[in-house]
């Protein structure tokens, strides 16, 4: 069975090569590339097990896009180790997370025969293109990024200094969005499924695509297409402990997030202690009742309904009854992936084979992009 998988993967690599050549020969002839299908690209950091926010905001959409893709669409999903090291990581834990993240992606339904799944750090084209983009990105633009400002605010709290001081922060944190643009544009991706927190980074990717085309491409042709953010309705799942901030891997309160690997009893306990309010009955009011609105968003995503529909349906339920419905739905949602993850994380040889094939196929795409980029820039 494994050999069969390998053969299909090799066959896919061949198809990628053929498609890439077709695009390139059209371009060499001075035509716009005959882009037929979508090129979908997205990434996730290997910094621990994904949580419900990652899943509902992004990963479930990766699987949906894959399963609904036409034969000509290409799907590329990356585990972005270089982004992870912008914050301090313990080497052994990072390495384990890298492989666990691959097992997770396969466990939720990413099919390595259909999609390219790989470790970002196995393909140097990303850092090469990031450097070229660094050389055209105004620093002022990066300083205005919300994520950079949040890091500054964190560092100010940590140092309890009255002045915001960026001199202690590493340059990787500042240029992180440039690497993200390079991730996407190395494949000339057209669609990027992400949660809402990534929209500003996507905007930068679009700007860099335009800027590069205007600056370097003869005739200002659209060599890099401006990528489109593909956002799910549950684009921002909130913390269970503080429903004014997003559910996040970095929150010190483990009760604030549900992990894909949580047991049914952990899911029950986290949802039981989710912060709501004392109003009687269920209504969808994200401003005044953010905790209940968040649970409605989660249940809606699990059942394929809108939060408002569910609020009407469960208008007379108590908060406790409603939380118990959400608990059942989330337990059902994660049951299959959790079991599959436990099985796959022990299949290291298989994971390594998938990563190797994924990286090879990723390189076929991106090396062609980089070859042309070097020509446009004059580095040949």
CA atoms within 13 A on the CB side of 10: 6
Which stretch in 2-10, 54-62, 66-74, 274-282 sits in contact with ligand TYM by CB under 6 A?
54-62
Closer of 9 and 194 to ligand TYM (Cβ): 194
Which stretch in 41-49, 283-291, 308-316, 336-344 sits in contact with ligand TYM by CB under 6 A?
41-49
In the set 16, 39, 58, 282, which binds ligand TYM (CB under 6 A)? 58
Q: Which of 314, 352, 332 is nearest to 117 (CA)?
A: 352
In the set 128, 183, 262, 357, which binds ligand TYM (CB under 6 A)? 183
Q: Is 236 in the site for ligand TYM (CB under 6 A)?
A: yes
Shortest reach from residue 7's CB to ligand TYM, in Å = 30
Closer of 20 and 198 to ligand TYM (Cβ): 198
Q: Is 299 in the site for ligand TYM (CB under 6 A)?
A: no
Shortest reach from residue 294's CB to ligand TYM, in Å = 10
In the set 9, 40, 44, 299, which binds ligand TYM (CB under 6 A)? 44
Which stretch in 6-14, 101-109, 188-196, 316-324 sits in contact with ligand TYM by CB under 6 A?
188-196
CB 244 within 8 A of CB 209: no
Strand locations in 85-149, DSSP E?
A: 116-119
Scan residues 203-232 and list those touching ligand TYM (CB under 6 A).
Answer: none
Q: Is 192 in the site for ligand TYM (CB under 6 A)?
A: yes
Q: Residue 327 belongs to what H/E stretch?
A: helix 319-344
Scan residues 62-81 and list those touching ligand TYM (CB under 6 A).
Answer: 80
Contacts 24+ apart (CB under 8 A), 314-323: 314/282, 315/281, 315/282, 315/283, 316/281, 316/282, 317/281, 317/282, 318/280, 319/276, 319/277, 319/282, 319/292, 322/282, 322/292, 322/295, 323/271, 323/272, 323/274, 323/276, 323/295
Shortest reach from residue 175's CB to ligand TYM, in Å = 12
In the set 27, 111, 197, 207, which binds ligand TYM (CB under 6 A)? 197
Structure tokens at 377: 């820039």
Which stretch in 12-20, 106-114, 191-199, 319-327 sits in contact with ligand TYM by CB under 6 A?
191-199
Spatial distance between the Cα atoms of 215 and 377, rounded to a whole number of angstroms: 9
Angle at 77 between CA 299 and CA 207, to 5 degrees: 95
Spatial distance between the Cα atoms of 225 and 35, rounded to a whole number of angstroms: 10
Pairing mode of beta strands 39-44, 74-79:
parallel
Structure tokens at 80: 């972005």
Shortest reach from residue 127's CB to ligand TYM, in Å = 12
Shortest reach from residue 56's CB to ligand TYM, in Å = 6
Distance of alpha carbon 143 from the chain centroid: 22
Site for ligand TYM, rule CB under 6 A: 41-45, 53-54, 57-58, 80, 83, 180, 183-184, 192, 194-195, 197-198, 235-237, 246-247
């Amino acid at each position: 069975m494994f050999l069969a998988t390998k053969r299909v993967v090799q066959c896919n690599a061949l198809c990628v090569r053929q498609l890439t050549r077709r695009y390139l020969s059209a371009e060499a002839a001075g035509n716009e590339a005959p882009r037929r299908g979508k090129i979908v690209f997205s990434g996730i950091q290997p910094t621990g097990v994904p949580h419900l926010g990652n899943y509902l905001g992004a990963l479930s959409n990766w699987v949906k896009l894959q399963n609904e893709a036409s034969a000509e669409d290409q799907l590329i999903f990356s585990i972005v180790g270089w982004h992870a090291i912008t914050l301090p990581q313990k080497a052994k834990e990072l390495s384990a997370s890298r492989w666990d993240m691959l097992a997770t992606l396969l466990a939720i339904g990413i099919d390595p025969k259909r999609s390219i799944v790989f470790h970002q750090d196995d393909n140097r084209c990303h850092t090469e293109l990031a450097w070229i983009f660094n050389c055209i990105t105004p620093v002022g633009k990066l300083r205005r990024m919300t994520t950079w400002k949040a890091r500054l605010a964190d560092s100010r709290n940590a140092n309890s200094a009255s002045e915001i001081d960026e001199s202690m922060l590493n340059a990787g944190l500042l240029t992180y969005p440039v690497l993200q643009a390079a991730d996407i544009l190395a494949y000339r991706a057209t669609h990027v499924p992400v949660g809402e927190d990534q929209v500003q980074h996507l905007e930068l990717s679009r700007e860099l695509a335009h800027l590069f085309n205007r600056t370097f491409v003869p005739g200002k042709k659209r060599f890099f297409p401006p990528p489109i953010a593909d956002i799910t309705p549950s684009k921002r799942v909130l913390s269970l402990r503080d429903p004014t901030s997003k559910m996040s891997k970095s929150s010190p309160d483990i009760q604030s997030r549900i992990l894909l690997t949580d047991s049914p009893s952990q899911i029950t306990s986290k949802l039981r202690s989710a912060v709501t309010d004392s109003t009687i009955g269920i209504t969808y009011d994200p401003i005044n009742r953010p905790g209940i609105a968040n649970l409605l968003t989660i249940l809606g995503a699990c059942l394929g309904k809108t939060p408002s529909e569910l609020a009407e349906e469960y208008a007379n339920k108590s908060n406790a009854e409603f939380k118990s419905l959400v608990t059942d739905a989330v337990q059902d949602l994660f049951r299959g992936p959790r079991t599959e993850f436990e099985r796959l994380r022990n299949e290291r040889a298989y994971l390594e084979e998938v990563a190797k094939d994924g990286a090879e196929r990723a390189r076929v795409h991106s090396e062609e992009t980089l070859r042309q980029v070097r020509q446009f820039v004059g580095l040949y």
